[in-house]
Amino acid sequence: MLKPIQEKKLTHFFNILDNNKNGRLQQDDFEGIGENICINLSIAHGSDDHKYIMERSQELYNYLINDLHKQPGEPILLEDWLTYFDMEIISARNVELLKKLIQITVRYVFDLYDQNKDGLIEIEEYTDMFTIYGIDVKYSAKSFVMLDSNHDEVISKKELIQAVKDFFVSSKPDTPGNWIFGNWEG
Ligand SMILES: [Ca+2]
Ligand SMILES: [Ca+2]
Ligand SMILES: [Ca+2]
Q: What is the pLDDT of residues 134-186, one digit of tens each?
A: 999 999 999 999 999 999 999 999 999 999 999 999 999 999 999 999 999 97
In the predicted structure, residue 77 carries a pLDDT above the cut 80: yes
d(CA 161, CA 154): 14
Q: Which ligand is nearest to the CA of 145?
A: 3
Closest by CA to 140, choosing from 109, 107, 97, 183, is 183
d(CA 55, CA 52): 5
DSSP 47: S
Q: Which ligand is nearest to the CA of 126?
A: 2
Report CA(147)–ligand 2 centroid distance (Å). 15
- Average pLDDT across the chain, whole number: 96
Stated pTM of the model = 0.94
Average pLDDT over residues 97-106: 96
d(CA 49, CA 166): 32
CATH code for the structural domain at 4-174: 1.10.238.10
